[in-house]
Amino acid sequence: MGFTDFARQHGLIVDNLISNRWIATPTEDHPRKKNGRYKWLGEVGWVQNWATMDAPVMWRSDSRVDYRPLIQADNQRRVDEARAAGKKAAWILHQCKKLTHPYLSGKGFPDETADVWEVDGKRLLVLPMRRAGSLVGCQLIDEQGQKKFLQGQTTKGATLTLDAKGIPIFCEGYATGLSIRAAMRAIKMRYTIHICFSAGNMKQVARDIAGGIVVADNDPSQTGLRAAQETGKPYWLAPTVGHDFNDAHQDMGLFQVSQSLKSVLIHTKSSPSTET
């Protein structure tokens, strides 16, 4: 099987192969986003669909060429790139100011301030990503809502956490996390919201932390639903296909969406007591 067929088998849409570096690409379940990535070295390659896969999977050509030196060299490049991405993320955050952002306004949070990097005439929302307490990279969101990660950064197991005083709640996106925070405040329950940036990573993070619930996106492909189910935890699923918790928040209003979330929370033994 050729590399492009292998990539397609995992849901990636690859039109023109580019070698020797990770390339972001659309996927069949998210054709308008670059939700997949690949790296092709000629005789060996890797693909990953962020929505469905915790880690890249490897492809090998049918030739008898010894690909092991390529892998060894690439492993070292990955270590170097990950280290450089962590340093770059720290540098970017140092350039940021706490500002409002059009992306957040469009998600129903016009007064929310966050790290914003003003560069080359653009205003990028910067979301730091940490693993085991260490900064490993960031997600950048432009004013049109386009998202990207830093080249070479570690994403597996990396999260952005909101508060850290209550029941663990796992979700994919930042806007979803803000809506969950608003709902938890409305029902006066403590929370620790783990924003995981993809369904695959959400599944990984949720498995490593005891208790809590998952707040899943209702993807047409059912990727979010499957990830939630595979964690083995109670989960909330957006009632409308194609929506997430933030969409439900904007459609239903804070009271109804918070009560909907509460109905899931009261069925988990790890729910904390109401604040006093």
What are the pLDDT digits (tens) for 102-112?
999 999 999 99
Look up residue 273 and give its DSSP letter: P
Lookup result for tokens 């209550």 = 166
Burial of 110 per CB tally in 10 Å (0-12, 13-18, 19+): exposed
What angle is formed at CA 131 by the lines to CA 115 and CA 22, rounded to 5 degrees?
85
Q: For residue 245, what are the CA distances in angstroms to 31, 39, 91, 112, 209?
A: 21, 33, 32, 17, 21
Q: What is the mean pLDDT of residues 151-173?
A: 93
> In the chain, where are the structural domains located?
3-60, 159-276
Chain centre to alpha carbon of residue 218: 15
Q: Give the model's confidence band at 276: pLDDT under 50 very low, under 70 low, under 90 confident, else very high.
A: very low
- Give me the helix-helix angle, 245-252 and 174-186, nearest 10°: 50
Q: What is the pLDDT of residues 194-205, one digit of tens each?
A: 999 999 899 999
CATH 3.40.50 fits 159-276, yes or no: yes
Q: For residue 64, what are the CA distances in angstroms to 1, 20, 61, 68?
A: 14, 20, 8, 11
Residue 274's DSSP bridge partners are 189
Q: For residue 134, what are the CA distances in angstroms to 91, 101, 129, 150, 264?
A: 14, 26, 8, 15, 32
Q: What is the mean pLDDT of residues 32-61?
A: 86
Q: What is the pLDDT of residues 16-44, one digit of tens each?
A: 899 988 898 999 887 878 889 999 998 89
The pLDDT assigned to 242 comes to 93
Distance between first and last Cα of the chain: 61
Q: What is the mean pLDDT of the chain?
A: 91
Question: What is the spatial distance between Cα 162 and Cα 181, in angstroms, rounded to a whole number?
Answer: 8
Q: What is the mean pLDDT of residues 179-205?
A: 96
Going by C-beta distance under 8 Å and a sequence separation of 6 or more, which residues neighbour residue 71? 44
